[in-house]
Amino acid sequence: MTDTTLLGLLTHDDKAAALAAAIDALRSGAEHPDVYRADPASFAQVPGSPMAYWVVRSKLEWSTPGQR
- Mean pLDDT score of the chain, rounded to an integer? 77
Which residues sit opposite 7 in a β-bridge?
35
Phi, psi of 6 (to 5 degrees): -120, 145
| 30-68: pLDDT as tens digits | 999 999 888 888 777 777 766 545 555 555 554 444 444
Which candidate, 12, 32, 13, places its Cα nearest to that of 22? 32
> What pTM, to 2 d.p., does this model score?
0.62
Which candidate, 50, 68, 66, places its Cα nearest to that of 58? 68
Residue 1's contacts (CB-CB under 8 Å, 6 or more residues apart) are: 39, 40, 41
| 4-36: pLDDT as tens digits | 888 999 899 999 999 999 999 999 999 999 998
